[in-house]
Amino acid sequence: MADDVDWHSIGLTDQQAGIMRAVLAVRSKGLRSSPAELQRAYERASGQPIQKPNFFAQLKVLTEQSFLLKQEGEYFANLPALEKALDSRRQALEKEAEKLRSQSKNFKKLVDTAALQPSVPLVQYNSLESYFGQLADQLDDCEQFCSNSVFPWVCFSIIIASASGSMDYYNKVRALCGRKGVEVRYISAFNADYLVRLALRATHGNKSMALQECLKSLNNLRSMLKIFPNLHIHCIPGALNFHFVVMKPRDSEPRSLYLFIFGEPGDIQNGVIINSPRMAKDVYGMFEDESRKAINMRSPKAEAVYKKLEKEFRALLGGKR
């Protein structure tokens, strides 16, 4: 049990922690906790020798700190003193945690201060890896995740997600599904060509395997909507002319807009992050408008979308490699 105690949390050094463990080990075996016995126990446990002058100096320090009590040539752990020290440390950490929570709230207010916002949007062009990394990092404080996507990435099969080069982002968005107090929302034109290209890349051109991955993604869409009430996916008749993500943080308004830059069809070359609360708010409003006009993929109307997509997948991938 002595190994379960974090002795460093109450300010003990490695040697002092080893001596405390030795005291408890010797006493638990019913042996006399004399200095000689403690030194042997310490060296057996640590696998390292300790010089007598240093050993006795550490015993003296621990006794002065009241962590050890000396009686008739033996040393005993002062359990009430240890408990008090741990409790004092816990209270100090709780105070620090409360300060950090308060500072976090104050910083959010600072970020939302209009006077401190840049007069023009700040634009960052990122490599694909850096872009997805920054996007994934922002998900931890997300209250609403909203995306206009060529195909809802959250339902990709694992193989297709890996081919997209965004596994960390993909996993974090999926983790948001079912998290209390968070909404994951997509609008999409469900571009079958895009998913087919990704599936072919993932399967090295094997049409039969690519078809199975596309159908698996379609089944994922159905099953995830059944499992996660906080996941909302809508189909829009025609694609919006840009692919974006906008997030609403907790206790705040959207601050940044994330755009995907496509090169060849189906290939995302890099990403752009636009730090502009006004632009993010406008796009968020557009997302709300489009969602109201779109087909809810939980509704009876969605059956026609599912059938159309399956038909398109089979037509595009019907042949063998």
In this prediction, residue 126 has a pLDDT band, given cuts at 50, 70 and 90, of low
Determine the pLDDT at residue 27: 85
61-72 mean pLDDT: 87
Determine the pLDDT at residue 114: 46
Determine the pLDDT at residue 90: 81
Are the CB atoms for 271 and 260 separated by under 8 Å? yes
Tell me: pLDDT of 92 over 60.
Answer: yes
**Identity of the amino acid at 228:** F
**Using CA atoms, how far apart are residues 310 and 312, in angstroms rounded to an integer?**
5
- Start-end ranges of CATH 3.30.870.10 in the chain? 120-317
Supply φ then ψ for residue 156, to 5 degrees.
-55, 145
Report pLDDT digits (tens) over 277-301: 888 888 888 888 888 889 999 999 9
Tell me: pLDDT of 315 over 90.
Answer: yes
Determine the pLDDT at residue 111: 45
Determine the pLDDT at residue 95: 80
Measured in residues, the chain has a length of 321
Buried b (16+ CB within 10 A) or exposed e, 50-79: beeeebeebbebbeebebbeeeeebbebbe
In this prediction, residue 113 has a pLDDT band, given cuts at 50, 70 and 90, of very low
**Using CA atoms, how far apart are residues 63 and 84, in angstroms rounded to an integer?**
15
Which of 7, 84, 77 has its CA nearest to residue 38?
77
Report the mean per-residue pLDDT for the chain: 81
In this prediction, residue 271 has a pLDDT band, given cuts at 50, 70 and 90, of confident
2-83 CATH fold: Arc Repressor Mutant, subunit A (1.10.10)
In angstroms, what CA-CA distances link 303 with 158, 229, 296, 319? 24, 19, 10, 25
Report pLDDT digits (tens) over 247-261: 888 767 777 888 776
- For residue 233, the tally of other CB atoms under 10 A from its CB is 25
Tell me: pLDDT of 89 over 50.
Answer: yes
9-29 mean pLDDT: 86
- Residues 6 or more apart whose CB falls under 8 angstroms from that of 301 comprise 295
Determine the pLDDT at residue 244: 84
3-class SS string, 166-192? CHHHHHHHHHHCCCCCCEEEEEECCCH
Indicate the SS3 state at residue 12: coil
Tell me: pLDDT of 104 over 60.
Answer: no
102 or 205, which is more confident: 205
Indicate the SS3 state at residue 124: strand
Determine the pLDDT at residue 296: 94
**Is residue 229 exposed (0-12), middle (13-18) or buried (19+ Cβ within 10 Å)?**
exposed
235 or 113, which is more confident: 235
Determine the pLDDT at residue 320: 47
- For residue 204, the tally of other CB atoms under 10 A from its CB is 10
CATH class, 120-317 region:
alpha beta
230-246 mean pLDDT: 81
Reading the block at residue 91, the tokens are: 């209270």
- Start-end ranges of CATH 1.10.10.10 in the chain? 2-83
Beta strands (DSSP E) in the chain are 68-71, 74-77, 122-127, 142-149, 183-188, 231-235, 244-249, 256-262, 268-275, 295-296
- The per-residue DSSP string of 17-52 comes to HHHHHHHHHHHHTT----HHHHHHHHHHHHSS---H
